[in-house]
Amino acid sequence: MTARHEPTQTGGMPKLTRIDKEIEIGEITDKQLAFLVEQLEEEHDEDQDYYIDRDTLELMSDNGADPELLAMLEKAIGDDESMNIAWE
């Protein structure tokens, strides 16, 4: 059993950034962040960045992702096949 990093916020809402293009995606709720952390692969316990491609978005949709979160990520990926995101 491995320990998972639980997202914690000290103030304000979690913010997503597309780190491969250095653009802010937007603010998300703690519930949306918890879903992302649960769905996406972490390389280590303190990981806060993720690789997302179109298949990942489809899988997240199939797994019940919040429609607003999906729309935000789909807008951020645009015409690209993949992107790297981070939260803070």
Backbone angles phi, psi at 58, to 5 degrees: -65, -45
Per-residue pLDDT of 65-87, as tens digits, reads: 999 999 999 999 999 999 999 99
In terms of pTM, does the model score above 0.85? Answer: no
d(CA 53, CA 83): 6
Per-residue pLDDT of 33-64, as tens digits, reads: 999 989 987 676 677 889 999 999 999 999 99
